Amino acid sequence: MADIELISYEPATGAILWRNLIGDAAEEVAIARSGWAGWAARPLAFRIETMRRFANVVRQRADAFVDLIARETGKPLWEARTEVDTVIAKVDISVTAYAERTAQRRLDAPMGSRMALRHKPHGVLAVLGPYNFPAHLPNGHIVPALLAGNAVVFKPSEKTPAVGAFLVDCYRAAGVPPECIRLLIGGPAQGKALAADPGIDGLLFTGSATTGLALNRAFADKPEKILALEMGGNNPIIVWDTPDLHTAAVLVVQSAFTTAGQRCTAARRLIVQDRLYDPLIETLDRMIGRIIVGEPHADPAPFMGPVIDNDVADQLTESFLALLMKGGRPIRHLERPIEGRPFLMPAMIDVTGMADRPDVELFGPILQVIKASDFDEAIAEANDTRYGLSAALISQTPALYDRFWSNARAGIVNWNRPTNGASSAAPFGGIGWSGNHRPSAFYAADYCAYPVVSNEAESARASIGIGLRDG
């Protein structure tokens, strides 16, 4: 049978960017299994130094990395540069997190013994990466996994394999043994094969709820394997009792349309106080009309690039039309300014009167607007989702934020800040269909190693003081 290639295209131009043969999951896992024990046996200080060399390699290659991310995802250069900066910063953050979350400790113990708490790596961890942050998000799994002593088999999204290959080359250039960081090129079939391979000890996933739920079912009879899922959100942003509608509009635009809406923390639903509805929508409409949508290297720099490909653009167009058919009132239509390319203009649609609103993550620049008459109704609307990743309140009233924080069902609850832009120095995760209670970012250390508690004494001393016959 002829070898099959995976080809990556630039979404902004349609040009071929990269091509490579599709890999074999079983072969990559077997290689990783052969090498992880030696990596785990190296001192922690050695692994930390290797990761710091990795950060330096990325620094040295930053310009090329930025350009590649921009070309393969379509995101503007300024945003691709932010992603590379985050990849570099992840190393020091992960070292701190490892020391805080999984450090060796001595505990009190009776009778002259000692109690030790240490952590061991799982072994071989599979990492499935997404296309929206093809370097930052898998790196957020891989760096803490390698620090803990695991080997990693990384399958990047089939939509962004070139960035995945570049990232793996940086690890290897820094001195991570090649057998301990494996690259699996392929599509859904290779991802399924990797997840099902008996040689992995766990899987770390960032992506859609559909895939995450399938993985959850597949691992249901495998309690011995760690599974960490980050699955996105149908995130609300509430605007209530605020006089500064310009700032509110800026925060809404940043929440809904950064990365062309392709962030798991992007605001999908704007819930607005009825008395603020008309002036806020007018302000938003003017601001959205000023947004530059263009290719990554354009001058002036665009705020948004295209979505990842034409299939996604077509699906989003169909979703917007479905909202219209269900009774949504368009405020700004989802327009495609360049025929044949996946550029989309930001869209807004009022769904206040729509019955049975679909609880889905529309992964693109579509903002649904809901008018509310009281704050309890607004919170109820915010929580009307199976997801629970991010939620934000724009308000000048601290008491409202206290109520919002207490009642919002989300792992990230923000006040007068966007729904997105989470810090890697804090845990990142949600509830419901947004994850399986394995938060990533600073808490990634928790799922990359398991605790081992030891009760230790240098000499054996024991007696039985009751329940024995005289001997």
Catalytic residues: 230, 264
Q: Please choose, from the candidates 83, 393, 183, 142, the residue with its C-alpha nearest in 3D space to the C-alpha of residue 267.
A: 393
CB within 8 Å of 266: residues ≥ 6 apart: 235, 255, 256, 257, 258, 259, 363, 419, 420
Token code pair at residue 246: 């310009």
- CA dist., res. 452 & res. 467, Å (int): 32
Q: How far is CA 448 from CA 25, 204, 221, in A?
A: 21, 9, 20
DSSP three-state, residue 1: coil
DSSP state of 184: -
Q: DSSP label at 304?
A: B
Secondary-structure breakdown of the chain: helix, strand, coil percentages, each rounded to the nearest 5: 40, 20, 40
Residue 349 DSSP label: E
Q: Please report which helix (H) or strand (E) contains residue 140, including its range.
A: helix 136-148
- Written as one string, the DSSP assignment of 367-421 is EEEEEESSHHHHHHHHT-SS--SEEEEE-S-HHHHHHHHHH--SSEEEESS-S--
Q: Name the E strands within 234-381.
A: 235-239, 267-273, 329-332, 347-350, 366-372
Q: Are 209 and 436 in contact (CB under 8 A)?
A: no
Sign of CA dihedral 256, 319, 324, 354: negative
CB under 8 Å, gap of 24 or more: what pairs does 424-431 form?
A: 424/86, 424/89, 424/90, 424/93, 424/140, 425/93, 425/96, 428/230, 429/230, 429/389, 430/230, 430/233, 430/387, 430/388, 430/389, 430/390, 431/388
d(CA 329, CA 324): 6
CA distance 463 to 56: 57
User: Which residue do the tokens 């239509």 mark?
Assistant: 333
CA 75 from chain center: how many Å?
Answer: 16
The answer to whether the beta carbons of residues 168 and 17 sit under 8 Å apart is no
Q: How far is CA 40 from CA 50, 100, 121, 200, 219, in A?
A: 13, 19, 7, 15, 25
